[in-house]
Structure formats: structure tokens, C-alpha cells
Amino acid sequence: MNTNLQQHVWIAGLGAISSIGMNVDENLASLKNKQSGVGYPEFLKTMHTNDLPVCEIKKSNEELALLCGMKNGLPRTVYLSAIAAMEAVLDVRCQMSDVRNAESHSQLATLSPQLTEYRIGFISGNTIGGMDKSDFFYEEFLQDKSKGHLHDVVHHECGSLTELVAEHLGINDFVTTISTACSSSANAIIHASRLLKHHKLDIVVAGGADALCRFTLNGFNTLMILDSEPSKPFDENRKGLNLGEGAAYVVLVSDKVKEALGLRVYGKVAGYANANDAFHQTASSAEGNGNYKAMKEALNMSGLLANEIQYVNAHGTGTSNNDSSEGIALQRLFENAMPLISSTKANTGHTLGACGALEAVYSCLALKHNIVFPNLRHETTMKELSFTPNKELIEDIEVNHVMSNSFGFGGNCTSIIFSKAKEKK
Amino acid sequence: MGFYINGIGSVSAQRFDSRVKEINFEAPVSNRLSCIEPGYKELVPPMQLRRMSKVVRIGVASAKQALHDAGLETPDIITLGTAYGCLADTENFLGKLVTQNESMLTPTAFIQSTHNTVSGQIALLTNCYGHNFTYVHRGHSFEVSLQEAMMWLNEKSVNEIFSILTGGIDELTKDSFDIISRFGTYKKEDEHYDAVSEGTIAGEGANLFVVSNIKNERSYAECVDIHLCCSDDIKSELHSFLYLNAMEEKNIDTCFVGMNGDSRYDEIVLNTISSLSNAQLLGFKKYCGEYPTSNAFAFALACMVLKNGQIPKELYVGNVAVKEIKPKHVLIYNHYKNKYHSFILLKKI
């Protein structure tokens, strides 16, 4: 072994945008107040404006572009990604000395000389790239191969979106993109953690983004897993998921950076694992084998006992299959010491490539504020499960360790454990 | 710390067996190279094969080949790179969505349009329950997955044999060819690869590898290190990469170069490696075409060249051998669109 893997991975900044808030504070307030972003789409152009509820961010692309200071005409996912990533960077920058001299908000959210002496990475997950624009392009292209505006298809690739945002942030030491369906941004956090542990980078902005688009809405509709009502994760009578949109990023830093800059941290990435269910392209095994393996290995890496986890922010999409498999896997892992469990997808909808990072941000908020979020709309315990998700906001609790799950197509299962930083003795 | 390449699976525009020294390279006759698909009978169950689009078929087939070549049934983990993902399925679903105005759609193409379909299908067919990642970062998709594999292997002790299936996969479809053509990427249809003109030739392929922390009698070569960058000063990136690996420029005896026949780039690319005074330069994109993960094809050739100790003459840049060499230290320098640069250093075992 030539690598010192004892390196900690600290979480020094958070950024989030979703249908329940344009920033981290708004998201937190909505979660505490049991607010949900579900409703019929107003900005997404689709035939399904009256039959498929979604969790949409109620801003036009132009309004979003203005918020992040980027040009018009880019894929919506770019704007969401930029807004959340800028907030995460700003969250770290606010702790630094040169901030008072910064002239504008956008200047604040890019890198300062103090940061650029470090090797900085941007790792983002997304599932659809610039599909909202490719959709326009393809309609014209199909009729005439010389038609369709190339600027609508130039950012089709998932990686292109990451690059646009990295450039906007001024990050160029290492930039990459992961696409593993609904676990994409959780896996971005894993990859970022690995790069820090191997001393390849000192600071990584990691997370992901996905905007609503016709491609995914219709795709999930063909699978008949969309609920025509607000979703009910972990409920016996759940009918499916609501799609959502959003973006979230965490700023991960090494021991060296944390010390040198004297950063306050939300906690650390204590354990992580990705496993494959190897059962079906889109369905989970009944026993939740991949889910269990990911959670078990993340727990092993953290060195924690199962009963030390106070809260699990579950994947909990609200589909019959996911909630059953995940629930069974949770029972296999925690046995008689079930932690508090909730799915915040009842609030945000399923934000696909963004959900892992969005729920990582929520997990960090649970650590920081010592709270456990409620699982909305739960009425009836599932017959195959012995536990009921947590239904009310809990504030009189000490939260030290939170597990966050993200599972996706292709059998992709990810679990990450976030732990509070222990005070130095 | 380096790692070993113990198995190769390659589906490309060329037909070769990685364990056989002689390769009959076929030169392209147009501006588009499609891969030669293998017989799938032994590789993929027929019922599943019917549903698979080309990228999934060639991905799964090359995975099976690589595992077979390494004498393995199941890898410990899988990490792949693909810039475009599953284009044919995406076009299929998007086309119907557009023409049928969001009605009467069926799920199969949507299900298979996800970027990690290939790695997921490989996991299914090989019962691989381990870590399973797919990188989708344009001209660095393959290189990031290889770099991840290297980090994993460095986490393992010498007492634990750990095998990773890694590689790069991309398909070319009629529509993607037409769209990319409109960006001025390719030569004219009847132009020869060697014609001095703007543009390259289109390609596709699936080149997968079993890499391990432990070498065995099947091992092709040792991969010493990987470096990827998007900087403006590639020459100094090369120098520091070699320096970090205790190598001097003059020690590199063979260099695979990512020249692609595009007169806008080939001179720049040659200039970047001009400090490699003793290296025999080899090209590869003439035989696989240009695509974001084409470097995985070069990686396969480099492994074979090191194992076999001889270089197929078709690969010589300018068709001339500078001198007779037995390759020991091979560098692969690739670029994609003169933006995504990478260096991979390989060593004879």
C-alpha cells in the first residue's frame, strides 16, 4: 500500500435547489414545515399538464439563468447545477477572509486566490444531459436531416453540462461526470471522497443535477410507476413516484484544507459503498440484496455499529417495488434496532440524478440541527414491513450518524454515511 | 503503484485475437468505420440478445471476451466509460415521443437508454454484485474509469487478488453520424484517412479489460500510471508525468499517438511529443476511427504489443519503422478535439 487512506473527508459547504426551495435554508424550512413541491407542471412543455403531477421549480429558464449569471439558451439542468454549486462554494467562501472585498455575488461564488493554491475538482452526476434541448432539435431533425439548430444539440452529452458549470465556477484541475441513473450524484460524492483519500485532490465540489424533461416524464410513465396523486413513500397503498427536479452539491475538503483554512464543517463522509443488485435492469430484487450489500459495506467502512445510526434518509421513491425491497433490506440490516427512517421524496419528488446529493445535503442538515425529517402522507404500514417511517419532525434528539440511500436503474445501489465531526479532546 | 492487464475484450472495426501476434489491419474505405460485431452465440443468451441495441451487445460481448481471456467468470467490480451512452435507444424513444406526441410509448427503449445500461447488463450476466460505475465525461470517459480502477487496486493488499472490469464503449448511429458531421468533425465521404484535409473519420467500439493488482501468466503488461488533463501546456504535463514516474523522455521506446488524420490537429499532437527522442511513433485511429473512448482501442493494442514483443507494421506513423525495437516502455498519448488530453504509461512485465 502506498496510499495513506486515513485521510478524512470533511463536508465544508452545502448548496441545494429543489421544488421546495431555491437554496439550502429554504429547503430546510420546507422540510421542517412539511411542505411539498408537488403540483402540475407550468414550465415543462408536455401533454401531461393535467394528469401527471411533478415537483417543479417555479422559475423559467430565463429567471434561472439570471440567478446564476449564465447566458440564455442552455439546458435547464445547467442552471440548476450552477445555482446549487455556487451556493455550496459560497458557503465555504463565507468563512474566508477575502470575502468582504468581493464585489458581487457571482464573484463570491467563484474561487479566490486563497483556494486556487489547492487542487480543486468538480464532479457532477446527471442522467439526461441536455435532453430538454435535444428534444427540440430532434423534432426538426427528424423531418429534415439538415434542420434543427445545432446549438440545441451541442450540449446533449451529460459531460457537457458539468463542463459549463465547472467553467462558470473557475474549476479546471479535475472535472468529471458520472451517470448511473438515480444514484448518479451519490456516486459523485463517493468518487470525490476516493480522490481526496488518494490525495489526488484537496477540495472537491461534488453532487448532481437533473431538470424535468419530456423524455424522463414519458419514460417513467411507460413504466407505469408514476403516481397521479402526490406520492406516499413507504405506505401500503402507495401508487408510484412523482418526478422532481433539482440540484445539490457538497464541498468536500481534506484534513489539510480544513486545518489550513480553519473551516467549520457539517460533518464527514464516514462510509460509503456502491453495490449491484444484478437482478433486473429496472426492478429491485424482492430481498433487496444490492440495497443491503451497499448499506452493510458502507457501515463496515464507517466502523460504526448498526445501532449507532440514528436516522436513515431512505431512497423511498414511493413505487411498490423500491419501498418494499429497500424496507426489507433495512430490516435485514438493522434487525431489532431500527433507526428513524424517512423519505424526503414526498417533499421533493424523485429528482433522479440530483437526489443522492440533495438527500446528502438533507442528511448534513439533520446532523447540524439535530433533527429528523418527517415522511409525508404516510397512513398505513406496509404489510411486509414491521416498521413505520418517521411521520413528524423530531427536534429533541442528538443526531450523530445519518445514512443516505440512493438506488437506480441497472441495479445500481449506493449508501453513504455522514457523521458529525467529533470535538477535539 | 501500477497494476496489471490480465484480459482483453475488443470489438472494433478490426478483427483480431489479442492472444495472436499477427493482426490483419483493414484500412478504412470511407469516412466512417463501423465495428465488426462478433458471433454472439457463445457470449449472450439469444432471448436477451434480441432486446439489446448495438452498444449493449458489443459492450456485453467484449466484457465476456475480456473475462474469458483472463480466465474469470465474475469481476470484483465494474467501472466503464462512455461519452454518448446508449444512443440508438435514446433516438428510438425520443423519436417516438416526438412523432407520436407523447402517446402510445413503450418502455423498452427508455429502460435501455440509461447511460449505465451496459455496466448494469454486464453485472446481470456475470452475477457481479460489486461496485458498478459509469463515467460519461466526453473525451475522458475511458481514462477516468481506468484511473478509478487504479485507485481501487491501490487500496488492496498483495494478499488479496482483486480484478476489475474496465474500459470504454461508444456507438455510432446513423443520426449521430449525421449530427456530428454537421459540426464539421469528419472528412468528406470519399476522402481517404491519409488525405491532408480537415476532419477525421468516425468510429465506434467496445474495448474492455480485466485489470488486477496481481500479475499472472496471462498478464499482458503493467500499467504504471495514468494522467488526464485539459490544460494548455500539454508538453509540460507530459514532462511532469514522466518525472513523477521516474522516467526520462529518452526511455520511452514506443508511443501510441492519438493522431486522427485531421490536418487541424495532427501537427500540434506531434509537436507535443517531440521530446520523445527515441520513441517509435504508432497511430491507431486509422483503424478504429475517432470517437470519445477510442483511447481504449490504443490501450488494447499497447498491451498486445508489449506482450508479443512485436509491432504490426501498419501502425507505424508514416508507414516507416525508425528502427527495429522490442517495446519495453510504451506511452499512449491521446487527445480528443485537442481538449481532452491523456497519458498512459505501460511497461513490459
B172 CA: distance to closest CA in chain A (Å): 14
Name which of A127, A177, A215 is nearest B97 (Cβ-Cβ).
A215
Contact state of A223 with B110 under an 8 Å Cβ cutoff: yes
Whether the CB of A2 is below 8 Å from some CB of chain B: the reply is yes
What ipTM was assigned to the predicted interfaces of this complex? 0.97
B92 CA: distance to closest CA in chain A (Å): 11
| Phi, psi (rounded to 5 degrees) for A388 | -120, 135
- Residue of A184, A281, A282, A406 for testing the chain B interface, max B β-carbons within 10 Å: A281
List the A38-39 sheet strands across, edge first. Answer: A38-39, A54-55, A243-244
What is the distance between the alpha carbons of residues B168 and B146, in angstroms, rounded to a whole number?
A: 9
Please state the three-class secondary structure of A2-69 as a single string.
CCCCCCCCEEEEEEEEECCECCHHHHHHHHHCCCCCEECCCCCCCCCCCCCCEECCCCCHHHHHHHHC
B156 CA: distance to closest CA in chain A (Å): 7
Name which of B102, B121, B135 is nearest A47 (Cβ-Cβ).
B102
Whether the CB of A43 is below 8 Å from some CB of chain B: the reply is no
What is the distance between the alpha carbons of residues B261 and B83, in angstroms, rounded to a whole number?
A: 21
Q: Identify the pLDDT of residue A1.
A: 41
Q: Which of residues 305-324 of A touch B (CB under 8 A)?
A: none
Contact state of A180 with B116 under an 8 Å Cβ cutoff: yes
Q: Identify the pLDDT of residue A2.
A: 42
Contact state of B123 with A276 under an 8 Å Cβ cutoff: yes
Name which of A177, A408, A411 is nearest B124 (Cβ-Cβ).
A411
What is the distance between the alpha carbons of residues A23 and A269, in angstroms, rounded to a whole number?
A: 22
Residues of A in contact with B135 (CB under 8 A): 176-179
* Cβ contact B115:A182 at 8 Å: no
Contact state of B116 with A409 under an 8 Å Cβ cutoff: yes
B80 CA: distance to closest CA in chain A (Å): 10
Residues of B in contact with A277 (CB under 8 A): 129
Q: A-B interface: how many C-beta pairs under 8 angstroms? A: 177
- Within 10 Å of residue A113's Cβ, how many Cβ atoms? 7
Active site residues of A: 182, 315, 350
Cell numbers at A333, concatenated? 440490516
For residue B32, CA distances in Å to A150, B36, B290 come to 21, 13, 9
Model confidence pLDDT, tens digit, residues B64-82: 999 999 999 999 999 999 9
Cross-strand partners of B341: B229, B335
Q: Which residue on chain B is closest to A298 by alpha carbon?
A: B131
Nearest to A188 by CA among A414, A423, A417, A422: A414
pLDDT in tens, chain A (425 residues): 444 577 899 999 999 999 999 999 999 999 999 999 999 999 999 999 999 999 999 999 999 999 999 999 999 999 999 999 999 999 998 887 655 555 555 555 566 666 778 999 999 999 999 999 999 999 999 999 999 999 999 999 999 999 999 999 999 999 999 999 999 999 999 999 999 999 999 999 999 999 999 999 999 999 999 999 999 999 999 999 999 999 999 999 999 999 999 999 999 999 999 999 999 989 999 999 999 999 999 999 999 999 999 999 999 999 999 999 999 999 999 999 999 999 999 999 999 999 999 999 999 999 999 999 999 999 999 999 999 999 999 999 999 999 999 999 999 999 999 999 985 43
Q: Identify the pLDDT of residue A217.
A: 98
Name which of A146, A154, A159 is nearest B137 (Cβ-Cβ).
A159
Whether the CB of A402 is below 8 Å from some CB of chain B: the reply is no
Contact state of A278 with B123 under an 8 Å Cβ cutoff: yes
Residues of A in contact with B105 (CB under 8 A): 218-219, 221-222
Cross-strand partners of A342: A313
Q: Which residues of chain B have pLDDT under 70?
A: 319, 321-323
Q: Which residue on chain B is closest to A183 by alpha carbon?
A: B133
Contact state of B129 with A181 under an 8 Å Cβ cutoff: no
Contact state of B135 with A141 under an 8 Å Cβ cutoff: no
